[in-house]
């Protein structure tokens, strides 16, 4: 994979591989990619989450260590300064609690959409944890580049997910039905913040070519509600960044919106393992690059090497050698995922790639 042909600048070469996959080029073996963040990295390395999130040297060495340990895995977004779900809600003024052994918790600030009228749109340069995160990027980017890496992707929670952190999931879903106009006004504010936050991160970094938006709450809605309360705001975010690679994560078990995703003009979709590759491909169409589909908890955390290999082989077999797939978890990388199971994904991809390469070419 990447390290066999790319030399020192692994991250840039992996980015090139990712772009080829998105363009629909045939890659053998298929790349392995994982969304990794603060719930997994410190636990895997035996670090205090608090140290990982507050000490730049600890964060940097931890990220470099997993890159060295798994050089063939494309970690997305990669070198992510991510205090759990806290960045966006902290900018609105939510109380944030920090812990040594788990990610920070954001406490709801309002109970109804109407209470959101008093909230202004935050400034990522001055509000909450955001200016601290931007300063980390400024300070650490030269060190990251000295190590032969680059920050290619910046990430943000999506507008609906941010709204649920302001209100709580139940209150948000009730408000959506009881006060749709107020919900729209709240989503206008969270959408503006998401756009501004992505822009601010890209503004302090120098190699950004992609964005990742994570919004599971969009998958909690009916098709009618998705079209009214989710799609327009997600589209505003993605449309604000022409020319960048656009990635979307939503691993809820609700496929009603999948056929709508091409209209977002996204390039990559990470979805739930509870939906089959064949069904998702049928719904999203032939062009969208998919990222899945091994169960993240039942197999990647709780399974052994053989069960991971088996699940990965099944995924690759269902894909039938077609382009447009990154072998991955059906969602993010869950806390407790052992390194041996990540390596098993890589080994399964290699094995399948060798088998496909040895077959006689059809004429």
Q: Can you point out the beta strands (E) in 25-151?
A: 32-35, 73-76, 96-97, 105-106
Give the residue numbers spanning the domain of 53.
2-266+311-338
Whole-number Å distance between alpha carbons of 280 and 278: 6
**Among 6-15, 53-62, 149-158, which is the least confidently predicted range?**
6-15
Is 287 part of a structural domain of the chain? no
Is 301 part of a structural domain of the chain? no
Question: Quick check: pTM over 0.85?
Answer: yes
| pLDDT at position 284 | 96
Residue 74 φ/ψ region, left for φ over 0, alpha for ψ in the -120 to 50 degree band, beta for the rest: beta
| pLDDT at position 5 | 36
CA proximity to 111, closest of 41, 183, 161, 40: 183
The domain that holds 253 is classified in CATH as: 3.20.20.210
Is 225 part of a structural domain of the chain? yes
| pLDDT at position 359 | 63
| pLDDT at position 9 | 41
| pLDDT at position 13 | 86
Is 355 part of a structural domain of the chain? no
Looking from the CA of 178 toward its CB, the CA atoms found within 13 Å total 10
Provide the percentage of residues in the chain whose pLDDT is more than 70. 95
Is 358 part of a structural domain of the chain? no
Residue 236 pLDDT > 70, yes or no? Answer: yes
Non-local (6+) Cβ contacts of 249 within 8 A are 35, 212, 213, 214, 215, 216, 270, 331, 332
| pLDDT at position 274 | 96
Is 349 part of a structural domain of the chain? no
Is 119 part of a structural domain of the chain? yes
| Number of domains observed in the structure of the chain | 1
Is 292 part of a structural domain of the chain? no
Tally of residues, the chain: 363
Residue pointed to by tokens 């609105």: 92
Q: Identify the band that residue 37 occupies on the pLDDT scale cut at 50, 70 and 90.
A: confident
């Amino acid at each position: 994979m990447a390290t066999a042909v790319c030399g020192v600048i692994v991250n840039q070469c992996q980015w090139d591989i990712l772009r080829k996959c998105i363009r629909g080029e045939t890659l053998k073996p298929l790349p392995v990619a994982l969304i990794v963040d603060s719930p997994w990295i410190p636990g895997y390395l035996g670090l205090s989450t608090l140290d990982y999130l507050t000490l730049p040297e600890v964060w940097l060495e931890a990220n470099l260590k997993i890159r060295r340990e798994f050089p063939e895995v494309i970690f997305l977004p990669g070198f992510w300064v991510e205090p759990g779900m806290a960045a966006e809600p902290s900018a609105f003024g939510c109380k944030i609690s920090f812990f040594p052994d788990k990610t920070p918790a954001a406490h709801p600030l309002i109970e109804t959409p109407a209470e959101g009228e008093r909230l202004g749109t935050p400034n990522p340069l001055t509000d909450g944890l955001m200016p601290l995160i931007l300063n980390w990027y400024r300070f650490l980017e030269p060190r990251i580049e000295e190590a032969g890496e680059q920050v290619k992707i910046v990430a943000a929670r999506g507008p609906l997910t941010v709204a649920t952190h302001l209100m709580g999931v139940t209150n948000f879903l009730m408000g959506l039905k009881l006060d749709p106009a107020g919900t729209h006004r709240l989503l206008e504010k969270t959408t503006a913040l998401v756009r501004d936050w992505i822009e601010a991160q890209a503004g302090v970094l120098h190699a950004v070519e992609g964005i990742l938006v994570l919004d599971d709450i969009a998958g909690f809605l009916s098709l009618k509600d998705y079209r009214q309360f989710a799609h327009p705001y997600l589209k505003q975010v993605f449309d604000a960044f022409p020319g960048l690679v656009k990635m979307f994560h939503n691993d809820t078990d609700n496929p009603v919106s999948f056929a709508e995703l091409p209209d977002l003009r996204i390039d990559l979709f990470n979805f739930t393992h509870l939906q089959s590759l064949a069904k998702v491909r049928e719904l999203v169409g032939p062009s969208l690059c998919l990222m899945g589909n091994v169960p993240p908890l039942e197999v990647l955390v709780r399974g052994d090497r053989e069960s991971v290999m088996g699940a990965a082989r099944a995924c690759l077999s269902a894909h039938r050698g077609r382009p447009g797939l990154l072998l991955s978890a059906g969602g993010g990388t869950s806390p407790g995922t052992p390194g041996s199971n990540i390596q098993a994904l890589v080994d399964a991809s290699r094995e399948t790639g060798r088998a496909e390469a040895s077959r006689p070419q059809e004429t």
